[in-house]
Structure 1
């Protein structure tokens, strides 16, 4: 089967874009999410088509994905393999259905595969207890903790605990090894480990001449960037949560280092999982590095005023809506992001915990 395209073309199906050279993108909707959709990419290989991410596990998303594949001249049953940039449900959600329909393998970085295994096997009440302890230590008020404690006591994961990880995600049967070319006959696709958004996030570098190279487009190949590098927004950077691991991680530091790694690749074009394709990856990386430095400086300025717990810092941070309008589960995510920024400030020597505080408050240095 050959689906090779030559140039980017819009309108080849339900929102499908032909990026040329055997690469397509299919916008798969995310229910009730301001991002709107995940751009699932289709890559032609000599052994059959391969998906990069799959979209949210939702009937409308599934119908959109299957219609998009038909518009690309293929079908779910023909899919040879699935490459997952990271384990989040808007990327990995439909992987199990794709595998059931096609027999395709699913590949993911080992660190995110471990997250999938852990969340599939975890007792919901154990996770509820862990989350309640973590949030209490971050300074969450009792009214926020009460629903978690009540759900744990009743032995169920319900109520306002909609931020709990899902348990239906497919366990991958292959690992993506950073630095190595993937086993895709006829293509040169290399995995690049880019932790930060998740511990096992990967970008995939298509080390082939861009279809527009003959028109003078500068850069080296194309980069499927997942959520690591997006054209207009910065991805969420929170803590890597694991009830069995007390290691103090630095996800924001991991992310900033990963950005530098991607800039050095200097791809001709970036094909992200949200928004739209774009060029000048090094320029976008520089903008994101500035953004995070400005944000860190702003958070340190807040800590100059008075010591703050992670919860209080999250309340004071700028979000896309007022704190009062942020839903319950999203507040958990916001506090995790505040903690990730605090860890970076502490590691840089720009903030420190205040001795004797409980919950621990932080002050600027």
Structure 2
């Protein structure tokens, strides 16, 4: 832009420094942005090893996100070409999205739990039309109104709008209880299903750099966050009719992390925090309150959609965007499945779409 007073070009504004935080003990974090998402960014962790840096998650597959990740690695004194490995907490695109590009640039291996690796393979092999057909049927079975279901029957433009349709296949499996290949470090996988069936936390079994009381540090992915309750919905598989209990899985996993009692939690969003057992207690109480409130709602028969509309969310139902409503319906059904498994709710015989009612 020309300077109106001097007639000379203004110098280009310096690029903002990438948001990098040194967490001590050879661990840093880079805030990799998530486009058009209220979460803002994914915290990608850079862990020094004797063979080069290992990343915990990589961020969203977007050109701007890639630029921030590479600039962040440079600010850490390394480069993407030097990355030795990528450990992915779970398959969601804001965590696994850039893994393939990191591997292409560096030859790094990618590690993922077997359950989420199976989802990655299925996603790559399933045509988008199959997913939309499946989701249409799921929403119809939930009792969603036609005006909500209709957009899923749209044309090709709609069908190419989903992210993460070709996620990178992993090279290695994160085996719960076993140490990962981080020379000079002790990082152990802890299976924490709930948010996804193959979600893992990663326990860095080393003394805290500030000598905080507790058992090392824990990369918690989306399992344990300081101010957000992670989404727990259904494990969607068009070709598998197994009735899962993801909320039960999540609650069990929370208790496992509470017993581990790490000195510090390094989550994938927001910020690092301490007192993991206290945060676990808060989340267990939150879900107990939701289940109790839902049970009270079901004095009268309600479909999954009707339950979702009546549940308490972080904003009124009328303000929840279309895609987030689908997520809410999945979460409502996960809570219903938990109540059914506990024996206090059951489906109403012959109802279509299926309605649920409290039985005790």
TM-score normalised by the chain length of structure 1: 0.92
Alignment partner for residue 108 of structure 2, among 81, 104, 107? 104
Equivalent residue for 1:64?
Answer: 68
Secondary structure of 1:159's partner? helix
Residues 226 and 255 of structure 1: is their aligned pair in 2 closer, same or farther, counting only changes over 3 Å? Answer: same
Contact 1:148 1:161 in 2 (8 A): no
The residue that corresponds to 1:189 in the other structure is 187
Residues 1:41 and 2:40 aligned together:
no
Partner of 1:207: 205
User: Which sections of structure 2, spanning at least 5 residues, go unmatched?
Assistant: 1-16
1:204–1:225: 8 Å Cα contact kept in structure 2?
A: yes
Matched-pair contact (CA < 8 Å) for 2:132–2:152 = yes
2:153 matches 1:159: no
Residues 1:299 and 2:324 are matched in the alignment = no
User: 1:321 offset after TM fit, Å?
Assistant: 2.0
- Asked whether 1:336 is paired with 2:330, we answer yes
Instruction: Give the secondary structure class of the aligned counterpart of 2:253.
Output: helix
Structure 1 vs Structure 2 CA RMSD? 1.4
- Superposed CA deviations along residues 257-309 of structure 1, whole A, max 9, x for unmatched, are 000111111100000000000001011001100000001111111112x2111
Aligned length: 344
Task: Report what 1:198 is aligned to.
Answer: 196
Q: Distance in 2 between matches of 1:79 and 1:61?
A: 17
Bigger Cα displacement from structure 2, 102-111 vs 167-176 = 167-176
Match of 1:271 among 263, 266, 285: 266
Paired residues of 2:132 and 2:159 also in contact (CA < 8 A): no
Distance 2:327 2:274 in 1: 30
Correspondence for 1:171:
169
Instruction: Give 1 or 2 for the bigger CA radius of gyration.
Output: 2
**Cα deviation per residue 1:203-233 (whole Å; 9 max; x = unaligned)?**
00000000111xxx21010000000000111
* Alignment-derived partner of residue 319 in structure 2: 325
Note closer, same or farther for the CA distance 1:254–1:165 as it changes in structure 2 (3 Å cut): farther
CA distance in structure 2 between the aligned counterparts of 1:161 and 1:347, rounded to whole angstroms: 37
Q: Distance in 1 between matches of 2:18 and 2:163?
A: 30
CA shift, 1:161, in A, is 7.9
SS at match of 2:302: coil
Is the 2:303–2:356 Cα contact (8 Å) retained in structure 1?
yes
Aligned partner of residue 19 in structure 1, secondary structure: strand
Q: Could you tell me how far apart the structure 2 residues matched to 1:96 and 1:150 are? A: 30
- 1:139 is aligned to 2:133: no
- 1:45 & 1:211 partners in 2: Cα distance? 16
- Deviations along 1:151-199, whole A, 9 cap, x unmatched? 4xxxx3x33885x452221111111101101111100000000000000
Contact 1:270 1:279 in 2 (8 A): yes
CA distance in 1, matches of 2:151, 2:226: 37
Aligned position for 2:131: 127
Equivalent-residue separation in structure 2 for 1:149 and 1:275 (angstroms)? 36
